[in-house]
Copies of this chain bind each other. A is one copy, B any other.
């Protein structure tokens, strides 16, 4: 990776001009390549072309930077899911497209994805908060999507949260297996999108038939 600067003026002198953003971007890239554990502040600073100490003008430390990356990642993920859900088609089609957007996000942004699921949220005082607000947000988003997509609900009074959890767990499983390169592929074997699509259909169907 070559040193990288963002913003209009590519070569500034003493002042970088956009260091915070550049560091977040560098972290995202390194996490994508080496995982959360393999990410170091020193490498991020070097990539951006700045001394490691400069980082502390913008972040409390390593954990704070990771948490910021996770935050950005989650915002991006939520935006993509919402966009996918908004399109045309039957409820089931739109919901399925949302699932595909999830898999695509995990594939295109492995750094964000890993940060979202591995970064330990940090409270203002440095200790972990009781529960990460993102967790509730992520799950709530999915439940709301299901409720909007199937406003009549499921027969038998099946809780939409149940279906939401099911779909989320399947998506996460497919995404992480694929990211680890452990999803068997080959002639006659389904792609991850095939897998998710069939799984969603089966689960929604299952919930309606119960």
* Interface: A42 (CB within 8 A): no
Number of copies: 2
| Chain B residue at minimum C-beta to C-beta distance from A159 | B188
Name which of A165, A183, A198 has the most chain B CB atoms within 10 A of its CB: A165
A53 within 8 A of B: no
Task: Give the contacting residue for A173; candidates B118, B136, B176; CB below 8 A.
Answer: B176
Looking at chain A's contact residues, the main secondary structure is helix
Which residue of B has the minimal Cβ distance to A37? B37
- Closest residue of chain B to A174 (Cβ to Cβ) is B169
Which of A173, A176, A205 has the most C-beta atoms of chain B within 10 angstroms of its own C-beta?
Answer: A173
When chains A and B are docked, how far (Å) is the Cα of A139 from the Cα of B172? 18
Report Cα–Cα, A166/B193, bound state, in Å: 11
What is A's interface to B at a CB cutoff of 8 Å?
35-37, 117-118, 135-136, 139, 159, 161-162, 165-166, 168-174, 176-177, 180, 182-184, 188-190, 194-195, 198-199, 201-203, 205-207
